[in-house]
Amino acid sequence: MELFSIQPKQTTSARQYRFLWLAAIIVSLDQFTKIIVKLRLPLYESKVVWGDLILLTHVQNTGAAFSLSLGSPEINRFFFITMIMIAIVFVVYLLYRATTKLQLISFSLIIGGAVGNLIDRVLFGYVTDFIDVDFPDYIMQRWPVFNIADSAVVISMCLLILDMIIHRSPEHASGSDSQQKIDIP
């Protein structure tokens, strides 16, 4: 009874972009939490969430991950806005070429995280970070402060590694160069 089917047929392109709602949720949640932090927590002050393990600490990051910087805030702003826009275009291309649901989800999370931080850089010239986590002193004294957008990108990277492990074809495991295409239902 194809004639009475309620579900529209999806083209390949429509299937590739069906998880972009995740990007919209990440951007919304990221911007909402940053607004709350800016309104409720003075700059460079902290609020205890769970002992010394988790704090909310309001910082402004004009640099990149771990507050890496190119020197001046103006150079940082131009450089990072340009790099984020290039990265978004590349990830949209990867999204179009994705072959598994896990890849679709991961690329959508990356897009959401990138757009969330891009909004901050364009509007303010810095990114608001506020999640402050302490790890036992194995790596460093405290992990650099981060935000929801950063978390989405890190989670997506973990999901992509998982996808590579799960969907590794037997040909790749034995060293063959042939690629297996996985159809996304």
Half-sphere exposure of 159 (CA within 13 A, CB side): 17
Residues ≥6 apart with Cβ < 8 Å to 162: 102
Spot the catalytic one: 30, 120, 132, 150.
150
The owner of tokens 């990265």 is 87
Find the helix or strand (DSSP H, E) in which 156 lies: helix 148-166
177 is catalytic: no
Q: Letter for the amino acid at 132?
A: D
129 is catalytic: yes
Q: Tell which residue, 151, 116, 145, 134, has the closest CA to residue 44.
A: 145
Which segments of the chain are extended strands (E)? 46-50, 54-61, 127-133
* CA-based torsion, 8, 9, 11, 12: positive or negative: positive
Spot the catalytic one: 120, 129, 132, 163.
129
- Measured in whole angstroms, the distance separating CA 181 from the mean position of its chain's CA atoms is 25
Measured from the Cβ of residue 153, the count of other Cβ atoms closer than 10 Å reads 22
What residues act catalytically? Answer: 129, 150
